[in-house]
Structure 1
Amino acid sequence: MLAGAHCELVVSPAGPTQVNAIVGSNLTLAVSFSGAPDPVVIWLMGDLPVVTWTIGSSVPPDIPENMRKVLKVEQNGSLTFVNVSLGFASNYTVKMTKSGVGNAVLSFTLKVFENIQNVTLSTQPDFAKEGTDLFILQYSMLQGVVEHQMWFFNDIPIKTNSHYLMEPRSLVILRPNRSDAGQYTVLLTNPFSSVTTHINVTVLYGPDEPVLEAHPAQPFYVAEDSLSLSCHAEGFPQPTVQWDFGGQMLSDTHKGVLNLTNVRTSQGGIYTCTVLNEKTKEKRQKSTNLNVYETPSGNPMCSVGSVSNVNLQYHCQWPGGTPQAMLSFPELSNTSSGTGNFSLTVPASDNLNRQTVTCLADHPVEQKNCSITASSPAQFLSAVRTTHDSEGKIVVTIYCVSDASPKAVVSWSRDSGAITSGTAYQISSDTTQLMMVDYNVSNFLLQNYTCTCRNPLGSQSREIQLQGPSVSNSILFPNQDGTVVTLTWEIPPTSIVTGFDIQMKGPDLLSTNHTGIQTRGSSDGYRTIQQKPGSARSTDIFGLEPKLTYQFRVIPRANMTEGVPSVVHIVGPGEGLSSAAIAGIAAGIPCSLLFLLLLGGLIFLCVYCNRKKSTLV
């Protein structure tokens, strides 16, 4: 050995260290070495020794039996593969060693591929559902080794980000949504083949928040109106719609539209729309309040009453309707109101006397009003009615009614003493009548009675002095033939009368005797021909002879007490010549003759004076 010489075993590639091979092909991982003769060669497949041999040795290389048909070591230490299969794809390392020289190491990578065939895409689960955590697209193939995979959505490349995650043989969509629906494509490649496969992905979603609308859109509807309610929501598949009203499912719907014709107030209320995704079983609801109104019937009515005869209570009513009308008296209060029937009590004052107060009746469909005027009692006249009771007693009823609003309450007194209901006096429930009962009419004529009509705005009084039976006026009307007369009469307002005797003086009225022959008698005195009750004010008298003279009069009675007869009415040839008239005519004749005599003397004197004056001239 020469001094200063240095030897080193060196292994270098005689070809590429990255080798791609198709299944069934032959290939060699070629090496060359220098620095030492006949080194020991060891090939490792990964960490597993597969070939051990000393170059130039006649001893066969040490190769595992199951690999001897594929692996072959060359004389220069290169490793040859015959009809390579997928199982030999790996990283390979060659080590050469020579005693006294050292070691040399070189690495190779062998990739063995098959042509990619029959690629299919599938999803997990079958449908994507919006809002779930993830949705997976994965591919499978009959054969092939994939070196690269690329994913596309609607032909746009997909990159790994917060929404997409690419894993071996799959694409993961994180939190899928409806915008992820579309076509997905996978492109698989290796050095020897390329395959593209598509799949359409459907995303189930919804229902979204329902949209509920009324057509026509109005804040309320009037009874007998027609309308439709529509409900729809976004979703896939298209959600179905179901309506609910008052806890009952409504079947009369068409694609989410509920038609209501000639609605009634009973159809007003909460309508609920339920939308259902039949695939996902998700559902949502939305409700609307349908207002169906109906005006109250008729018109509002106003009245005013009395509270303890001190305060005024104004009342307004307009019942019925849906909803009930809101009632108020804005002239009396800006804060008080009510519905249906409303009353407002206020202190009585002069300002309210004869002031018209209006009630405003406000209903969503229609507004109306009514008015009422409170007034103090007006002056009035009393009236007296006389009847009999079952025992024949005279019943005298005094009426006192004053025009007032609110209605006046009547109090009664006698000679300044208050009258209360009892045995002698009875006051009607509405206080407007005072009834007294007695046999003797004179007992009614001894006192003065006073009625006072009072309401919260004031009072009026009337004193009543009862009179005995009397007739204030009477008239006689004959018919055209003079055979029938009608006699009418009146009595003073406070006169006590229980009946009337109709009396006649003159020939008897024509009558028929038992033989059927009509006869007529005569009489010089008054005789009663009819009796009338106290309520009567007229009578007809038949059977008069037009050529004869008759006299008629009315006698008022209070039980057995007779009043002053009415004036006498004469009918017949001497009609109108009463005894007073005849006396007047007799007294007037001498006066007329004296007047004519004086007038003649005056004329003679004037003529005489004129003649004498002419002679002198």
Structure 2
Amino acid sequence: MTLLCDGFCGFLLCVLLTAPQGSLSQLTVTAAGPTQNIALVGDNLTLAVSYSGATNPAIIWRKGPDPVVTWTINSSTPPDIPPSMSNVLRVSDNGSLILETVTLDYTDSYSVEMTKSGQGTASLNFTLTVYERFENVTLGLQPDFAVEGTGRFTLQSAMARGVVEEHVWFFNGIEVKSNSHYTVEQRSLVIHDPNRNDTGLYSLTLRNPYSSATVDRNITVLYGPDAPVLTVSPVQQFFVSGDSLSLSCKADGFPPPTVSWMFGGVTFNDSRDGVLRLTNVTTSQDGVYVCTVVNDQTNASRHENVTVKVYEKPDGSPACSVKSSAGVNLQYECAWPGGTPAAILSFPGLSNSSTGPGHLSLNVSASDSLSGAPVSCTAHHPVQQSTCNITATPPAPFIPSLRFGINAEGKIRVTIGCLSAAAPESTVSWLRGTEAVSGGSVYTIGTTQLTIQDHDMSTFLQHNYTCSCRNPLGVQQRQVHLLAPVISDSSLFPNQDGTVVTLTWEVPPASIVTGFDVQMLGPDLVRSSSHNVSLGRSRSYSDSYRTIQQKPGSARSADVFTLDRTEMYKFRIIPKARLTEGAPSTVHRIGPGKGLSGSAIAGIAAGIPAGIILLLVPLCLLGLLIYARNNDSEQARYPIATDKGMKTKAELASSNLRLAGAPHFSPEYNRFHQAPPSEPSMDLPMFVPPPPVRVATTV
């Protein structure tokens, strides 16, 4: 037995000694630090673990459900980490997860799982919350102000940065809890059915492990105005003209409501504290006074009125007027409202039986005897009698006005205006040729004007338009004949160097013009910075006119720069009615004449010095003669000599100016215009005429 036992025990010992180390062990993972972790943005931390029961296990770290690190401990192969996290995550030799410079995105749950073949799998869970310190915390209000009786208002917090772990709302220092009146949320506080008692100081306190912040905001709940209360002082049933009284109107509200009084359509905003003081009242102040109270921020308003009775004669004087009745009769009116009793009105010159209390209207047939004749209205009152006069007149002569433009559709619009002074006011009708004009897509008829839309340019020019101003006493007619685009007069003015010219023009008032094309014939304009450099050989010439400028319909001049003074240019202006061109203006020419031969030019060049010498010889002889006469004369030192055959410098300059082309305007005006109504000519440019050149010609 002893030998048998010794043999079995030795066998077991041999088995235990020869078996692989750890074959009977189980892999375990334990936390080497806290499993619930917090960090501040930018911090470094480690989710530390330790393991036992196996060597070099395979390890997987997960962020939420997603694997972020895969590795076999002590393997020569580096850990498998997503590129987007490689600058933040690392794994230590013992399998701990190291996070460097964490951001808010790393707030999550983490888990580690270790596996060793034959020794099982072990796992462990962690949590990480990353915080920021609070910065720039503010409270906003939605809507912009709280109003009593509205559905709700909300206080909303906002911050530049920060992670909230705890929030507490306060109203006037007392913590606010959610109930039927308040709804408390993390970053907002909702006040339902606000009222004036919700006015006060609201506070929000925010906390996290690294910082805290408190922000306050005073909220005023706007309310009112409540129903106004009116009082009249002194209290009595009526007032007599000359009495004084005050009307008071008060109402509660925030902000304090503004008070205004209205009477007879006139608003009195200067009443102080809602009190309207009336002194020396008259019957014109008899009636209903309305008090209006307004909350200026919510625009809510309330109204109440009080009636004030004042007995006395009518105030002021009676007023007379005359109107047209059915287009053929005159309706005379006389009014003197107010008074107790009402005034009795009549037109004795027109009728002995027509009377009316306070207001009288009388229709009479229009006649020549009433034209320009004053008609009196007599106002009878027990205290006072007064009269007023009105004179009916036929339409006066007038001058039509014309305006041209482009409508929204890019078509020409012509507006003809006819206004004639008359009593009663005249009505205006229109004819196109002999046919009446009616409104529509082509014609828009106003009180005193007719607007024509350009559907067909030729239609404008084929018809005369007649406006008639009419009232029961007469009619005035004026005819307008629209003209095609035309220029009535034009001129050209060069500067002294001949490198700049100014073109001016005029158009008749009835000519339909919406723009001008300034055209030129000749070489291209000089593009050198110096006007003295001729680029004629390097520039192209044109044998036809080309447009170099476009001007609006209001323009009456154009400047053309950088001309070559050695070349000849021709200019003209084309008037346009949108796309319709009128006849060109007179052609204006500037530059030297063409066709001189080389020998002629050489002869001129040679003749200039000879001419100067011939001119100097008689001048020298004349000087010697004058000197000799002065020595022989006993007259004054500075005698005045006159020579009717010679001109002064001023006269020569004036003559040269006229020869150079002084402005001369002869615009055409239609028979009802003395001058263009809206497009005056521009001031003519000033220039100095070039000096005269003596020319010698060789044959």
TM-score (ref. length: structure 1)? 0.43
Q: Which has the higher strand share?
A: 1
The higher radius of gyration belongs to 1
